[in-house]
Every structure is written in C-alpha cells, then in structure tokens.
Homo-oligomer: A and B are copies of this chain.
C-alpha cells in the first residue's frame, strides 16, 4: 500500500435536488416554449479542487439516472457506472470531481412529464413540452453554474449521454476541455428510429396509457412499457452475445413446450421488462427517445463554427459488435469533427457484448478511458 490507491467504492451516496428554474424565471426551451419550475436531481463524487479544474460531467443514457456510483442505503446494486467511478478507478475520485444529473424529461428526481403541471396541479402528461438535446445541455450548464464551475475538465457520456456531450461541445465548446463520446450517434438511422417508434406505439396504444394521464386514472401502461423495454434489450446485446449467454437453452431443467416462458432468453427478456416497470416512467420513455430521433446537429450549417475559437479534445469510442450505434455512427462524428480540425482520438474497441459494452468493465475499454482521463488531467482545462 505504498502510495497506491486500491480501486474502491465512493461509499454511500445520496441524490440531491436543486431548483434551477422557477415558474417566474423559467427555462426557455429550444422550441421557445417555457418550462418552470425545473428541478434537477444530481450526485457528486470526489472533491472539487481550489481552482475548480478537476470537474467531470457524466451524461447518462436513455434509462440512466443521477446515481452513477456508490451505494444508496438499502440498495442491492451500486450506481450504474460504479465500475468506472471511485477511488483508484479510471475516473479516480481521489483526483476528479464527478457530477451526474438526471435528465429533464426523466423520472428519477428531475422535472419530467409525470411531474405536476403548475397550471393544472396534475401530471403534465403529453402537455409537457417537446425537448431537444440542447435543452439537456442548458440544464446541465445551469447546474454547473449553481455549483460554481465555469469549465469542465471532461464531459463524458455513452449512447444518449454521448449525444449530449456532442451537442454541448458544439454549442458551448468553451465549457469543455475534453469530450468523451462513447457508443453514440450524431444521427439516428431509419432502423434506429423504427425500433423507438414501435416502442412508443406499444406504450401509447396500451389502453392504460389513457392519453398520458395514467397517474390520475390510477393506471399504468405496464404492458406497453415492458414490451418497449424487452425490444430495446434485443438491440443492446450483439447476436453473438445472445447466443453465448442463452443459446437455445431452456430456462428450466427441461423444455416445457408451450406459449409460456421456456427458453432462457425469454426469461431474461421477461425479467428486464418487469424490473424496468419499478424504476421508469412511460412518458419519460416517449420524451427521451424522441429527443434522440430528432437529434442531427451536423445538419446545421453553423454546427462547427464555435470549435474554431474553442477547440475541444475529443475521444470517440465505438464497439465492434454494437449494432444499435455501430462504428459507422462514431466515424460519422469523427469525420465531421475532423473537418473542424479538432484533436480527436478514435478507437473501435473489440467487445462481444454489443451496445451494452459501454457500461461494462472491459479491461481494454477501461484502460483506454483511464489513459485518456489521466492525459486530460495533465493537459488541464
């Protein structure tokens, strides 16, 4: 133990909430609509240094939340990116100050479509305004300001999180010294949109959806939301990973032919669909997926202009078996950024696990991130 730090846990963490916008001083959205109040749930790990130069912002994926690391009282599992964040881990909380917040439009402490609408006193439902990726960025920036942080050492995100990092770096490059975009996309394909469209249909066509006012009706579109989640999980794993994990094995000792759960893969999907209902809101699923569908920052002719004055050091990572956002998606991001002459490190990493790889503790992946984070600390803000 001579000077080294063992990889460890950040310990017990709690999610805090802060009101960043009020009804009187609302958030002005990209559409021009106004939203207030806006509460944001967040967690932090580590200590902000004296010149606030060690701040790392974690942007979560579609169904993530603010609880990225450590343990909540009574929880059976740590935060969703606990393998990455903690003492001695790649995002070493002895050196970095890490912030993670729940997205607006979400359902884990930040204001979203199931929050009360001050105009009616009941949930917004589908009266919640349509969001844009830049609205997420605006809220992240407001949280940073409230924490007294002017510029990030690193912004990091996977999947939808990477899309936020990209948008942020294009819109406010002066905020970010180093931007890490993992398993993400700058533009969903028709097939990507198709999967999300069918998921939304399953939710909205569920009779218990009740036009989005399910809470007040005492219903919940459990069938639609679990179908959406099961379908999404098919896209999160590679075909080979499905074969390796489940193959054609029965769930029980022997096959019980019929229409119940027989194959192990059916049991897995059923489980994923059911546990999702305990932690996620159907309206949030609609709003957050639609932000992804419409995201297309490089379609704006002025997308890259800010980067000339404030270059950002980018890390772009993809996984070779990711068929949700294949390497081609990452390469499209790289090609655009190259035209703006940004310093970019790009890697396609090998992993058998498909899109889910960005959440896993793969040695090469984590070594790549660790080296890049360490270099960011050397270069500074």
A interface, CB within 8 angstroms of B: 31, 126, 130, 187-191, 193-195, 197-198, 200-202, 204-207, 223, 226-227, 230-231, 234, 237, 239, 242-243, 245-248, 255, 257-259, 263-266, 269-270, 273, 286, 290, 293-294, 296
CB-based nearest B residue for A263: B193
Q: Is the CB of B242 within 8 A of A189?
A: yes
Which residues of chain B are near A286, meaning CB under 8 Å? 259
A-B contact pairs, 27 of them (CB 8 A): A130-B258, A189-B248, A190-B246, A190-B264, A191-B234, A191-B242, A191-B265, A193-B263, A194-B265, A195-B234, A197-B265, A197-B266, A197-B269, A198-B227, A198-B230, A198-B234, A200-B259, A201-B226, A201-B227, A201-B273, A205-B227, A207-B207, A207-B223, A227-B227, A231-B231, A257-B294, A259-B286
Q: Are A248 and B201 in contact (CB under 8 A)?
A: no
Residues of B within 8 A of A195 (CB): 234
- Lowest 4 CB-CB distances: which A-B pairs, in order? A190-B242, A190-B246, A190-B265, A205-B223
CA distance A243 to B189 in the complex (A): 6
Of all chain B residues, which has the CB nearest A130?
A: B257
A205 CA to B222 CA, complexed, in Å? 10
The CA of A217 and the CA of B201, in the complex, are separated in Å by 24
Further contacts, 6 of them, CB under 8 A, given A190-B265, A191-B239, A259-B286: A126-B259, A190-B243, A191-B237, A197-B269, A200-B259, A263-B293
